[in-house]
A = this chain, B = another copy of it.
Amino acid sequence: MQLLQYHRSFAATCLRLVRYASTAASRNASFAALEDTDTNFFRDVLGDSNVITDIDALQPLNEDWMGKYSGKSKLALRPKSTEQVSKVLAYCNDRHLAIVPQGGNTGLVGGSIPLFDEVILLTAGLNQVISFDAVSGTLVCQAGCILEHLDNQVGAQGFTMPLDLGAKGSCQIGGNVSTNAGGLRLLRYGSLHGSVLGIEAVLADGTVVDTLQTLRKDNTGYDLKQLFIGSEGTLGVVTAVSLLCPPRPSAVHVCYLAVPDFATTQKVFVRARQKLGEILSAFEFFDQQALDLTLKHLEGVRNPLPDTQTPFYLVVETSGSNEAHDSEKLQGFLEEVMEEGMVLDGTIAQDSTQIAGIWGIREGISVALKHAGPVYKYDLSIPVAEMYSLVEETRHRMAGLPVEVVGYGHLGDGNLHLNVSCQRYDEEILKHIEPFVYEWTAARKGSISAEHGLGQMKADCIGYTKPQPVVQLMTQVKQAFDPKGILNPYKVLPQVMAVAQ
């Protein structure tokens, strides 16, 4: 209890100091301003076509896809090799030029967007597959490879990428690793901390840290690659990764279930784990509000159960190696949960088109929300039993305001996506959400970032989830890896602590 009070008081202090990193942080005066000689150096190293200074070309790189965060960078660089990244970083470190690495720019917390005039380092030019071993499923590739392209490539040889998410058509594997992306099948394949076998990263001073091995097991010293997973480009720029790809399941089944209340979704989950066991690969939920938004804003989305209105819907997926066995298991599960009244109505997708249709709803929620207008997005780990209470309490707090509160997420992982859709980003609306959402989560020992990361949105809120000695140790690690603090400044760690160093 004492610890919790401490967390809350620490976090409250941070919030008082800097409510919004994106608006309140001030430019670190120790960073140099860009000069023509710098740009000329980069042209020499990278060639003219990979040095972007045109304002129109810079505009989409200075802004996130939600239109929530924006910076004023005057320069973006597109290196094509680790060696070029090393040269660029060594130069920036000498010159005290701040750097923001940017992959597919699909993040939700402003992690790859500059706050001021930081140089944008694009990883898109690092887009080569280095090797794939079709016996072990080990993929080695550069950081700028797009997730969906990789999945297609390994898929052709009977394997699948160990993660999948809505942004797969744009997001890059380097960004996935740097943000420890979770996604739809973490339940089955675990986190990237388990799947990534090796990383090549470049430190702020240009040192190449090469742990790009393909061994499933290696206990020689500290597992430094783990520090690059999820550190959002603040410790080094990930330039290549090796990953263990699981065999592609030959049998995939998806069912769509209508459930009367949130307590029942958990009972269905427990039953799914019992009956489906090792073939359960996704267990996702969304509320009626999310479904309505998606049906309204996305074209081509069909309601699989048009005659059923209920507060909660589930998408349950199995992935296995035996079509007949898996089908029998899923049928048995569905019969049980329907007979016992846990599920009001349900349907099993009959072919790949229907599977895509059901997943289209779940994956489309985020896009539909964007179509509906500005969104305050929260991504929380909360004990499953209490997860939806936060949506209800938020809805209650905001009754009468012109907002729509929507809840969905990865129920199997205890990960809620709470979204508040509104007409415009508005400080008055925000006051109803923050710090309430963070305090509510901290009181339940949850995490204020399950999978999105902290970025600039929550850099000053880390204290809600991590105690001060842990944050202090993180700051020491940052100091050891990037003494001048040029890599992705104003992100992840609280500015108050970084400045105090």
A477 shortest CB reach to chain B, Å: 6
Instruction: Tell me if A495 is interfacial: C-beta within 8 Å of chain B.
Output: no
Instruction: Tell me if A298 is interfacial: C-beta within 8 Å of chain B.
Output: no
Per-residue interface assignment for chain A, residues 438 to 468, with 1 indicating a CB less than 8 Å from any chain B CB and 0 otherwise? 0000000111111111100010001011110
Q: Residue on B with the closest CB to A179? A: B219
Q: Is the CB of B492 within 8 A of A221?
A: yes
Q: Complex Cα distance A230/B452, Å?
A: 27
Instruction: Tell me if A340 is interfacial: C-beta within 8 Å of chain B.
Output: no
Enumerate A181-211 residues with CB–CB distance to B below 8 Å: 182, 186, 190-191, 193-195, 203, 207-211
Q: Is the CB of B413 within 8 A of A447?
A: no
Q: With a CB–CB cut-off of 8 A, which chain B residues contact A384?
A: 135-136
Q: Complex Cα distance A384/B473, Å?
A: 39
Instruction: Tell me if A247 is interfacial: C-beta within 8 Å of chain B.
Output: yes
Q: Residue on B with the closest CB to A158? A: B274
**Given A211-B466, A226-B227, A278-B321, A450 and B136 contact (CB-CB distance below 8 Å):** no
Q: With a CB–CB cut-off of 8 A, which chain B residues contact A278?
A: 249, 278-279, 319-321
Q: Residue on B with the closest CB to A476? A: B480
Q: With a CB–CB cut-off of 8 A, which chain B residues contact A481?
A: 473, 476
Per-residue interface assignment for chain A, residues 232 to 276, with 1 indicating a CB less than 8 Å from any chain B CB and 0 otherwise? 000100000000000101100000000000000010001001111
A residues bordering B, Cβ < 8 Å? 3, 135-136, 179-180, 182, 186, 190-191, 193-195, 203, 207-211, 213-224, 226-227, 229-231, 235, 247, 249-250, 266, 270, 273-279, 319-322, 325, 328-329, 381, 384, 410, 413-415, 445-454, 458, 462, 464-467, 469-471, 473-474, 476-481, 492-493
